Chain A
Amino acid sequence: MGTSTAVSGDQNQTSASAPHRSEALSPSSPCVVFPDDAPLRLESGQHLAPLSIAYETYGTLNAAKSNAILVCHALTGDQYAASNHPVTGKPGWWDALIGPGKPVDTDRFFIICPNILGGCMGSTGPVSLNPKTGKPYGLDFPVITIGDMVDAQVRLIDHLGIDQLFSVIGGSMGGMQVLEWAARQKKRVATAIPIATAPWHSAQNIAFHEVGRQAVMADPDWRGGNYHDAGIVPKNGLAVARMAAHITYLSEKALQGKFGRNLQDRAARSFSFDADFKIESYLRHQGSTFVDRFDANSYLYITRAMDYFDLETAHGGKLANAFVGTTTQFCVVSFTSDWLYPTRDSKAIVHALNAVAANVSFVEIESDKGHDAFLLDEPEFHATVRGFLGAAATKRGLA
């Protein structure tokens, strides 16, 4: 491994074509750069260098370095899990879960949340400058996998001098990373909490992703991925992708309850294609705000990585093989109304863990909020995380 350098992220040398662009090249958070002599070997066989990993930390690492928790973010998440987002100014996406006295207690634990490989908030991704051309990678960026994301995170954990993570926690795609950590780094993961996730991406999930990608690529502003050169972004395509995806994060019941057939700021139908309905207006808003903080090419690469995720096939067609010899203590969590990553997918993980006699807890949380429940204030879910982490920490003698 080469020597890594920490860089501070306050220089902004680029003209931003989208508000997030400057964050991609020069993040507000700490960022570690692994130089050219230590390329990351990707599952595709390609090598990636230099490698930047932008990350946030919360709490204090103890002297024994035994209280570190790695938080893995989902598709459109980032390292700002419990701090304000530098582009939107909004609180962290897991602010409800992480903080002093909260279920992932920053008074007790040291939390590390890196931006994933392929992301657009400072870690190396398709927005990063290709050292060969000096321009953004665009589609020259290699196709990456969830395993590659984890291998990149391993670099960061090595850099921080941490031998074993007390816990690795993540929901949705974050949960896929948790499973890869548990499979690839058995000795370095004491406990793991894969939430609202699956051991493989289903045909339905691949299908939704493909719709999103085609929406991006159908936008003339996408320009074969080279939109940065022209100083534009495929806003319309990415917004449509986000709108379609957002529906999959909610439940039918939640949509009906929150929006019903209510009209938006009007008393009657307009007999046009305006956003007459509240749900239309809501989705348009979700789409338009998303493009300000997310890169279209990153969206393509990350959804692809999720589609390629199949822990079973990667382990000879038997999921249990992924966990042979594990000593990690698992807590698998699913939500009743999550139809994107349904409980049966979590149960497949649990069955595989049982098959190797692993130490596993499994809780299905009653919620009508759909897949998004893992990001929301769900008291039963939070109590489970708090109880599981607390008991495991006490068992390991953590103060």
Chain B
Amino acid sequence: MQKAIPLTGQHRADHLLIAEMVTSSSRVLDVGCGDGALLKLLAETKGVDGRGVELSREKVNLCVKSGLSVIQGDADSDLKDYPDRAFDFAILSLTIQATRDPKTVLENLLRIGKHAIVSFPNFGHWRIRAQLLLTGRMPMTPNLPEPWYSTADAHLCTIRDFADLVSLVDAEVEDAVAFNSQGKRLPIKHSIALQNLLGEKAVFKLKRRS
């Protein structure tokens, strides 16, 4: 039995938004699945057949111990093995900025999944813009807490940048949501400029132009 999506609680805001975009009983690949929180949420609320890929050995072991189908691997080197359209949804939640080659990863997601869902921290948020402008240093925020020399986030982008990449890889945006630190959607769907200024994170649902 599928439960209604819990709107509060310990679930990550982008996970709840992603769960709204995923259709019930679909096949899902979560790339960079961490401890499997999203896969569990999707299994409980949407009854999906979920798989995961995770870089951290400890997190993979946690997932497998709890009965999730997860492999140790990474988005950059392990996606090429998957066949075309093997999944209904290929998801990359708060991971694309940490990949070596985001463009190839996104192309692979769009190839493997009939839809791709990508969430990422928005480097165009006004607080980040202000920090860089006023301090002249790489911004550090609750979303991006690591200093530049130790962060894994090598490829940060803004919502506008990501939209450009989507066009570049010949994909179309099916849905795009910007949200703030409380996980609230911004009621400004029509204006990418405002989303890019006020959204702390964003979730895009994409598909390949056929």
A388 lies within 8 A of B67 (CB): yes
What B residues does A363 contact at CB under 8 A? 57, 60-61, 64, 72
Chain B minimum-CB-distance residue to A389: B67
Interface size on B, residues (CB 8 A): 22
Chain B minimum-CB-distance residue to A366: B57
A392 in the interface (beta carbon within 8 A): yes
A313 in the interface (beta carbon within 8 A): no
The proximity string for B residues 38-73 relative to A, scoring 1 for CB distances below 8 Å and 0 otherwise, is 000000000001010000010011011111111111
Which listed residue (B67, B68, B70, B72) contacts A394, Cβ 8 A?
B67
A355 in the interface (beta carbon within 8 A): yes
A361 lies within 8 A of B69 (CB): yes
What B residues does A364 contact at CB under 8 A? 57, 60, 72
Chain A minimum-CB-distance residue to B86: A357
Of residues 244 through 272 on chain A, the ones whose CB sits less than 8 Å from some CB of chain B are: none
Tell me the smallest distance from the CB of A101 to a CB of chain B, in Å.
16
Chain A minimum-CB-distance residue to B65: A387
B67 lies within 8 A of A392 (CB): yes
Q: How many A-B residue pairs have CB under 8 A?
A: 70
What B residues does A366 contact at CB under 8 A? 57
Q: How far is the CA of A392 from the CA of B65 in the complex (A)?
A: 11
Q: How far is the CA of A366 from the CA of B57 in the complex (A)?
A: 9
A384 lies within 8 A of B61 (CB): yes
B82 lies within 8 A of A384 (CB): no
Which listed residue (A331, A332, A354, A390) contacts B82, Cβ 8 A?
A354
B69 lies within 8 A of A360 (CB): yes
Given contacts A364-B57, A366-B57, contact A354 B71 (CB under 8 A): yes
What B residues does A350 contact at CB under 8 A? 71, 73
What B residues does A355 contact at CB under 8 A? 81-83
Chain A at the B interface: SS class: helix
Tell me the smallest distance from the CB of A397 to a CB of chain B, in Å.
14
Q: How far is the CA of A380 from the CA of B61 in the complex (A)?
A: 8
Q: How far is the CA of A329 from the CA of B86 in the complex (A)?
A: 16
Which listed residue (A351, A361, A394) contacts B64, Cβ 8 A?
A361
B175 in the interface (beta carbon within 8 A): no
Chain A minimum-CB-distance residue to B85: A357
A391 in the interface (beta carbon within 8 A): yes
B78 lies within 8 A of A354 (CB): yes
What A residues does B69 contact at CB under 8 A? 329, 359-361
Tell me the smallest distance from the CB of A315 to a CB of chain B, in Å.
16
What A residues does B81 contact at CB under 8 A? 351-352, 354-355
A362 lies within 8 A of B73 (CB): yes
Q: How far is the CA of A363 from the CA of B78 in the complex (A)?
A: 15
Q: How far is the CA of A297 from the CA of B47 in the complex (A)?
A: 54
What B residues does A392 contact at CB under 8 A? 67
What B residues does A391 contact at CB under 8 A? 66-68
What A residues does B83 contact at CB under 8 A? 355-357
Chain A minimum-CB-distance residue to B112: A357
A7 in the interface (beta carbon within 8 A): no
Tell me the smallest distance from the CB of B60 to a CB of chain A, in Å.
6
Which listed residue (B60, B66, B82) contacts A357, Cβ 8 A?
B82
Tell me the smallest distance from the CB of A47 to a CB of chain B, in Å.
39
B82 lies within 8 A of A387 (CB): no
A383 in the interface (beta carbon within 8 A): yes
B61 lies within 8 A of A388 (CB): no
Interface centre among A347, A361, A380, A388 (most CB of B within 10 A): A361
B64 lies within 8 A of A331 (CB): yes
Which listed residue (B67, B70, B71, B87) contacts A390, Cβ 8 A?
B67
A386 in the interface (beta carbon within 8 A): yes
Of residues 137 through 155 on chain A, the ones whose CB sits less than 8 Å from some CB of chain B are: none
Given contacts A357-B83, A364-B57, A366-B57, contact A383 B73 (CB under 8 A): no
Q: 19 A-B Cβ contacts within 8 A?
A: A351-B81, A354-B78, A354-B81, A356-B83, A359-B51, A360-B69, A361-B63, A361-B68, A361-B69, A361-B71, A362-B60, A362-B71, A362-B73, A363-B64, A386-B65, A387-B64, A388-B64, A390-B67, A391-B66
B residues touching A (Cβ–Cβ < 8 Å)?
A: 49, 51, 57, 60-61, 63-73, 78, 81-83, 86-87
| Shortest 9 CB-CB contacts between residues of A and residues of B | A391-B67, A387-B65, A362-B71, A357-B86, A351-B81, A354-B81, A361-B64, A361-B69, A355-B81
